[in-house]
Amino acid sequence: MLMTKERRPAIRTLRGWAIAVTQEAGAIRECEEHGWMQDRADPHARDRAFRLARQNPPAGISADEALAEVREVLDSIGDTCPECPPESV
């Protein structure tokens, strides 16, 4: 039986790469219902994202540029989905 390995989608932009790195590190997640990215507020996951960016920047991009893009992505994503109703306390 022929088995195929699922391929990761090609990343076309530096921002797309940074989003993929932060998701892989577990620093952000996708709202299951609406698809918005949400910051998980996990300092260890953020550290993993920065470490991954520093160790494996995209071709032609310096480690400093990669770190800056990951930082920009993390700073631009909130911790709540704008479409989900607020939780009652």
Task: Evaluate if pTM is beyond 0.85.
Answer: no
Residue 31 lies in a domain: yes
Question: For residues 8-35, b (16+ Cβ closer than 10 Å) or e, as one string?
Answer: eeeeeebeebbbebbbebebbbeeeeee
Q: In this structure, is residue 84 part of a structural domain?
A: no
Query: Is 22 a member of any domain?
Result: yes
**Span 25-33, average pLDDT:** 93
Instruction: Say if 4 falls within a structural domain.
Output: no
Give me the number of domains the chain comprises: 1
* Domain annotation covers residue 43: yes
Residue range 31-87, pLDDT digits in tens: 999 999 999 999 999 999 999 999 999 989 999 999 999 999 999 999 888 898 887
Task: Determine, yes or no, domain membership for 51.
Answer: yes
Residue 65 lies in a domain: yes
pLDDT at 22 over 60: yes
* Domain, as residue range, for 25: 14-76
Please report whether residue 71 resides in a domain. Answer: yes
